[in-house]
Amino acid sequence: MRVFGAGVVVAVLGGVGLVPAAAEGTPGLWYYDNYGVQEAHDSGFTGQGVTIAIIDSPLYREMPALADANITVREPSYCDLSDTPGTRAPATSSNPEEASHGTEMTMFIAGNGDGGAPGVQAPLGVAPDAQINYYAALFRNLDFGPDFSSVADCYRDKKGAFQEALAEAITQAVDDGADIISMSLGAGATRPVVQAVTYALQKGVVLVSGTSNDLVTASGLSTLNGVVTLQAETPAGAIVANSAKVDPAVTVVGPGGDILTLNRSWTSFGTSSGTSMATAITSGFLALVKSKYPEATGNQLLQTLIRNTGSEDHDLFFDPAGYWGYGSVSLQHMLRVDPTQYPDVNPLFDKDFGSPLFEDVFGASAQPTSAAPAGAVTLPDLLLWGGVAVGGLVVVAAVTTVLILRNRRKTTPTTPTTPTTPTTPTTPTTPTTPTTPTTPTTPTTPTTPTEGL
């Protein structure tokens, strides 16, 4: 069931509750400055007591920004060494071409901002005291040229095995006690992946992923029931242009445009955009909510994520145009509301792909609870989803190994000084609501996986 709340469009879309784009602070750290992260930390909510699993590329554990982070790296990785089939590669690497992406995602959650050289600012982590369990399940050859492209996969015995590696990493992360699993990547909805997702959902673990960084709708992992699917938002409160499309799989829109990221080396930074950043940062936001409300279940974290979007209270809302999902992620709003008041039921079992089924996860006797609040206006799924089911299945079948990493839109690299601690953000009286884009035609099913990096 998708819900349309009357009169709340302005309240939940387009960066509501954020300060204007020219906010005080370092360029690329607006996700930290504008969402009240420092205020949350000052109130004692830092992610302590919460375990976040990150599944990504290898990690550069010696990154200065991660020096005091609580990180446990699962060794070895889930992939073979390229020149030694049958021997697993290490899960850590000092090569930026191999480890930059996973290292960045970890900094967004647990980084201390140390750029490794005087005056160099690295990303600040939104949940610095969370326990990070790290799993390397893919490798890639990174091209730092003008197009900034990559080819990613995980090989075993000279055969592509990313789906199996991801499934094993998800299962291991659950067994290791993860509360939240952050996956800034994409994968096909193969049997091993669906089985691993089902297992995680049965254990009440929050799964966070992202839509594609292009105009093709989400596929595979991000279309699975129960999984949070992120779209990326800019500081101006608009969806990142490269990925602005009708996408019924999108759950919410999080900060992912013009974010401070690595630029060619471990001590050089610029800005870039993509759903990878939105995925990691939103995972960290949920950890802050969990640290304030430790009794909240994973399902109740999902409930508060979709109900408390934007800055103001409102009826449950789902964007009828298909761009914003339930609206813009709001850390401040979630922290104001005790999630334990909500049903302990995963509310994301209505995605178009339809797998896994609710009864397959929770048993035939379990009944999903509608997220619709009393008095909300509801419309049949057909009105939202009509005409995309077959196309969605075809796309899922075509995707085998796809990284939904970031589309680099590089600006001049920055070496800012330590940012001024942000003051309480000023909520704009009239938020910027993006103009509804022209509805795209049904995308052509790709024959070759689209790389989003």
**Active-site amino acid positions:** 56, 101, 276
In the DSSP assignment, the letter for residue 439 is: P
- For the four alpha carbons of 5, 9, 14 and 20, in that order, the dihedral sign comes to negative
- For the four alpha carbons of 391, 230, 202 and 161, in that order, the dihedral sign comes to positive
Do 63 and 30 meet the contact criterion of CB atoms below 8 Å apart?
no
- Return all residues near 131 (Cβ < 8 A) that are at least 6 apart: 50, 51, 52, 70, 72
User: Closest Cα to residue 272, out of 261, 283, 287?
Assistant: 261
**First and final CA of the chain: distance in angstroms?**
33
Instruction: Work out whether strand 206-210 and strand 2-4 pair parallel, antiparallel, or are unpaired.
Output: unpaired
Burial of 140 (0-12, 13-18, 19+ CB in 10 A): buried
Do 326 and 309 meet the contact criterion of CB atoms below 8 Å apart?
yes
At 143, phi and psi to the nearest 5? Answer: -110, 115
- 128 preceded by a cis bond (ω within 30 of 0): no
Distances (CA, A) of 430 to 13, 15, 308: 11, 10, 19
Do 324 and 250 meet the contact criterion of CB atoms below 8 Å apart?
yes
CA distance 199 to 170: 9
User: Closest Cα to residue 340, out of 394, 397, 294?
Assistant: 294
CA distance 327 to 12: 5
